[in-house]
């Protein structure tokens, strides 16, 4: 799971860190929050980029709403020997952290997962120190739905797969969109951030069909559980997954599944 998450989200974690110019030169303390940390992609990239000197000035908090993710994260911190790091369960829209605390917050995929994304950004603003930096990313183009949809559509007994619009805003209850760099920039501005840098970043992955199958629980299952009834999920999950895998094998043959991903990557400063 961690390896797959790193394959898909790692390049964007690097882009977020790079855009945030992290770590800053000097010897100031780095009090960092990896918000919505999941399996710890951002934290592991932070750790692998930092020199031993920079590691000694790091205080890292990994936070997520998912208790199983935090339990895994605690093990990862311990097994990796990351000192000055901890994992905390939290809701990004209302965290337990004090105001003016962190020097950096990284929120990689990200705000779009929240029912009210701007509440999450405003909370980041509250808990950042003056001049603290927020780095976010948000999907703009995800490749798997088109292939899943086409595979499922070949069997008319299966329920249809949700539309692009439904999928992209599956978790959000609010009208804000993240489709363009300008929209991302406007959301950061509205939440009080300055010195905003925003860009669309692309990455192309090359995966085996087996790797795509391993991704189904975090893509296909996550979405049909939202848009299909429980009866539909129970009855059609297995045949739909089979239809997707058969389609991928036909479409990509013996070659890898080559997919292009695009994300908005943006940073802003408090004050
Ligand atoms: C797409 S994953 C991204 C994980 C990680 N940041 C990465 O780059 O791999 C989204 C994460 O957001 C978490 N999440 C969803 N809603 C949240 C909330 N309200 N507060 C904190 N985390 C949340 C999920 O549990 C999941 O781990």
Q: How far apart are CA 251 and CA 202, in angstroms?
A: 23
Q: Determine which residue's CA is closest to atom 27 belonging to ligand 1.
A: 38
Give me the mean pLDDT over the 180-206 stretch.
97
Let me know: does 108 contact 12? Beta carbons within 8 Å: yes
Q: How far apart are CA 231 and CA 211, in angstroms?
A: 27
CA dihedral 140, 173, 223, 231 (to 10 degrees): -160
pTM comes to: 0.96
Atom of ligand 1 nearest to the CA of 137: 8
pLDDT at position 201? 98
Which tens digit of pLDDT belongs to each residue from 47-62? Answer: 999 999 999 999 999 9
Q: Determine which residue's CA is closest to atom 9 belonging to ligand 1.
A: 41
- pLDDT confidence of 2, banded at 50, 70, 90? confident
Q: Give the CATH number for residue 120.
A: 3.40.50.150
Give me the mean pLDDT over the 203-224 stretch.
94
pLDDT at position 1? 75
pLDDT at position 168? 86
Q: In what order do the strands lie in the sheet with 193-207?
A: 85-89, 58-64, 30-35, 102-108, 128-141, 257-270, 193-207
Which tens digit of pLDDT belongs to each residue from 214-245? Answer: 999 999 999 999 999 999 999 999 999 999 99
* 187 has a pLDDT exceeding 90: yes
Q: Determine which residue's CA is closest to atom 4 belonging to ligand 1.
A: 38
Best of 93, 96, 113, 205 for a ligand 1 pocket test (most atoms within 8 Å of beta carbon): 113
Q: Which two tokens stand for residue 96?
A: 């337990």
Q: Which two tokens stand for residue 53?
A: 């000197």
Q: Residue 21's beta-bridge partner residues?
A: none
The count of domains in the chain is 1
What is the domain range of residue 206?
2-270
Give me the mean pLDDT over the 193-208 stretch.
97
Q: How far apart are CA 82 and CA 79, in angstroms?
A: 8
């Amino acid at each position: 799971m961690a390896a797959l998450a790193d394959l898909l989200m790692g390049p964007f974690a690097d882009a977020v860190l790079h855009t945030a110019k992290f770590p800053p030169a000097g010897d100031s303390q780095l009090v960092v929050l990896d918000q919505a940390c999941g399996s710890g992609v951002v934290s592991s990239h932070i750790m692998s980029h930092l020199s031993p000197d920079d590691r000694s000035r790091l205080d890292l908090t990994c936070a997520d709403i998912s208790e199983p993710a935090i339990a895994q994260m605690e093990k990862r911190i311990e097994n990796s020997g990351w000192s000055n790091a901890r994992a905390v369960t939290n809701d990004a829209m209302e965290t337990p952290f004090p105001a003016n605390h962190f020097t950096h917050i990284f929120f990689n995929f990200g705000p779009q997962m929240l029912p009210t994304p701007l509440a999450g950004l405003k909370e980041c603003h509250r808990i950042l120190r003056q001049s603290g930096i927020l780095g976010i990313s948000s999907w703009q183009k995800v490749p798997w739905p088109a292939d899943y949809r086409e595979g499922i559509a070949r069997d008319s007994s299966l329920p249809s797969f949700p539309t692009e619009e439904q999928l992209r805003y599956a978790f959000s209850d609010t009208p804000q969109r993240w489709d363009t760099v300008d929209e991302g920039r406007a959301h950061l501005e509205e939440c009080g951030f300055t010195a905003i840098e925003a860009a669309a970043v692309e990455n192309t992955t090359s995966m085996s069909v087996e790797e795509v199958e391993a991704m189904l629980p975090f893509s296909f299952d996550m979405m049909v559980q939202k848009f299909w009834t429980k009866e539909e999920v129970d009855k059609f999950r297995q045949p739909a997954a089979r239809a997707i895998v058969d389609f991928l094998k036909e479409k990509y043959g013996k070659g890898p599944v080559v997919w292009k991903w695009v994300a908005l990557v943006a940073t802003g400063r408090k004050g």
